[in-house]
Amino acid sequence: MNKDIPVIALQRLPIYLNYLKSLPKERRYVSSGLIAEALDMGEVLVRKDLAYTSATGRPRVGYVTEELIAALEDFLCCNGTRNAVIVGVGALGKAVTGYGGFKNYGIEIVAAFDSNPKKIGTSVAGKPVYDIADAAEVLGRLNAELAVICVPAACAQEAADLLIKNGIKAILNFAPVMIKAPEHVAVRHIDVAANLAVLSSMI
Amino acid sequence: MNKDIPVIALQRLPIYLNYLKSLPKERRYVSSGLIAEALDMGEVLVRKDLAYTSATGRPRVGYVTEELIAALEDFLCCNGTRNAVIVGVGALGKAVTGYGGFKNYGIEIVAAFDSNPKKIGTSVAGKPVYDIADAAEVLGRLNAELAVICVPAACAQEAADLLIKNGIKAILNFAPVMIKAPEHVAVRHIDVAANLAVLSSMI
């Protein structure tokens, strides 16, 4: 992926992609104005975001829908496939492991980890569940760079430390705690309850 | 909650709260500088965020830790309890329903909905699962204002329309599509795959 795109813009690209894919096949052309209206966004912003991709719009007609879809997909996956692991296969970990949407972004979930002997050796959504104690060996072998942490808050930092020590470069954290990581590791935090609280404050 | 606080600042309050709660009991005072360092944030920003609450720091000493925790909790829940429902009890819906962290924000999950006859009438994490076809009656009775959408992308808009028609004022959407809603309804979108893709682009 092009690193010069701001993260905030990058986050919007999948939204355009989802919208474009939802259009009827007959719609051969699509303008930035139409996209902006449908998604309730500013047209200038849409045009600016799409300019990060290789797609080029034509005056008055707009983009060829298929080309724009291809350009967005290409942009979002142009690094080739990256391997990701899920840590913690409780209810949330299971849901994330089984979520099919990752491959649209060139990401493949290759394995899951847990510490519960009843779960180790089983599989979730077709992915093997390994003992977290074997993380060093397994992560090296699988060439995984991304991890999603779905363990309880109390174990999240320990899990992160172990992952980072064994080559994980980016962590998506669902546990409701801040994770500390060295600068070369990218961390994002999704706190479901906090997100709902923010919504609650808006009504 | 105080509506004058920017959403971006509001989202940081639970992070401070989590950090403060993780401190050892002996730490009676805490300064904005210490919080900033621990969370890798700017001290001015921390002080500004905390100023939205009723907590007041003292020069050189900082905040009384317990008072700051109470002020944050009070700020985040000062509307009293709000009722929320989960729509779709697949793996993700189950995980969200069972997630205990909502009550820290004055939010209570009171029920779930599904359209699968095998799930209707059961309970998930102690919450009853109702038929989505009965949404009108159930939502009115439960006085629910918040909803979390955990259905597949193809059903998300339909679910949102039904919820909005029956009094839901804020929707947290996990389905990987944009949901359209009238202006008086607050919507937030959490796209797990997109979040991981953003991370992937940063490494």
- To the nearest whole angstrom, how far is the Cα of B165 from the nearest Cα of chain A? 16
Whether complex ipTM tops 0.90: no
For position A177, what pLDDT does the model report?
79
CA distance B43 to B50: 11
- Say if the Cβ atoms of A200 and B39 lie within 8 Å: no
Most confident residue range from A58-67, A94-103, B78-87: A58-67
- Residue B127's pLDDT band, with cuts at 50, 70 and 90, is very high
CA atoms of B1 and B7, how far apart (whole Å): 11
Q: How many CB pairs under 8 A join A and B?
A: 192
pLDDT of residue B78: 64
Does residue A103 surpass a pLDDT of 90?
no
| A194–B14 CB contact, under 8 Å | yes
pLDDT digit string, tens, across residues A158-192: 999 999 999 999 999 998 777 889 999 999 888 88
pLDDT at A48: 93
Mean pLDDT of chain B: 89
Q: Do A178 and B19 touch (CB under 8 A)?
A: yes
Cβ neighbours for A161, distance < 8 A, ≥ 6 positions apart: none
Q: What torsion, rounded to 10 degrees, do the Cα atoms B159, B162, B163, B164 define?
A: 120
User: By the CB < 8 Å criterion, does A154 face chain B?
Assistant: no
Could you give the 3-state DSSP secondary structure of residue A149? strand
Q: Which residues of A touch B198 (CB under 8 A)?
A: 7, 10-11, 188
Q: For B176-181, what is the mean pLDDT?
A: 84
Q: Which residues of A touch B39 (CB under 8 A)?
A: 178
Nearest chain B residue to A170 by CA distance is B199
Q: Which letter, b or e, does each residue of A30-69 get, where b requires 16 or more Cβ atoms within 10 Å of its Cβ?
A: bbbebbbebbebeeeebeebbebbebebeeeebbbbebbb
In chain A, what residues touch B192 (CB-CB under 8 Å)?
96, 99, 101, 148, 172, 190
Name the closest residue on chain B to residue A197, using Cα atoms: B105
Q: How far apart are CA A140 and CA B97, in angstroms?
A: 35
Average pLDDT over residues B25-50: 92
Reported as type and span, the H/E element at residue B96 is helix B91-98
Tokens 């429902």 belong to residue: B85
Please give the DSSP secondary-structure letter assigned to residue A37: H
**When comparing pLDDT for A130 and A79, which is higher?**
A130
Contacts of B187 in chain A (CB under 8 A): 199
pLDDT band per the 50, 70, 90 thresholds, residue B179: confident
Q: Which of B105, B201, B203 sits opposite A10 (nearest CB)?
A: B201
Residue B7 pLDDT: 67
pLDDT in tens, A133-161: 999 999 989 999 999 999 998 899 999 99
How, if at all, do strands B123-124 and B127-131 pair? antiparallel
Q: Per-residue pLDDT tens for B66-99?
A: 999 999 988 887 657 899 999 999 989 999 998 8
CB proximity list for A52: less than 8 A, separation 6 or greater: A2, A4, A5, A9, A13, A75
Q: Calculate mean pLDDT across residues B22-26.
A: 88
Instruction: Answer yes or no: is pLDDT of A99 > 80.
Output: yes
Contacts of B101 in chain A (CB under 8 A): 176, 191-193
Does residue B47 carry a pLDDT above 80?
A: yes
Residue B2: the pLDDT is 52
The DSSP call for residue B194 is H
Mean pLDDT, all residues of chain A: 89
A3 at interface of B, judged by CB pairs closer than 8 A: yes
